[in-house]
Amino acid sequence: MEALASLTVAVLVACGVYLVLRARTFPVAVGLSLLSYAINLFLLFTGRLVSGAPPLIGAADRAADPLPQALVLTAIVIGFGMTAFVVILALRAFGQLGSDHVDGREGEP
């Protein structure tokens, strides 16, 4: 299960990095959200992969670590807000600069 988990994070990060390095704002925004998904999964996994255990001591034989779950909730909220902001900013840049290139101008062909 560890291999599958780390592979998922790795693929998400690789796709995110590839998209963030594109020259158009839309792939960059998608890449940023993929990166934040990868990071959220990664944070969740830092509490170790335990299945079938509630994050309560004494409720079962084993207990999952509740702190990464709290951290990931915070990270999800922040990542969601930031993604919304970057989408709006990209739209405004397209409106004001007349181009969806990240530098606001078309490069030489």
d(CA 19, CA 66): 32
Interacting residue with another protein among 2, 96, 107, 108 (CB under 8 A): 96
Site for another protein contains 69 (CB under 8 A): no
Site for another protein contains 5 (CB under 8 A): no
Contacts of 94 (CB under 8 A, 6+ apart): 25, 100
Q: Nearest approach, Cβ of 79 to another protein (angstroms)?
A: 8
Interacting residue with another protein among 63, 78, 80, 106 (CB under 8 A): 78
Site for another protein contains 56 (CB under 8 A): no
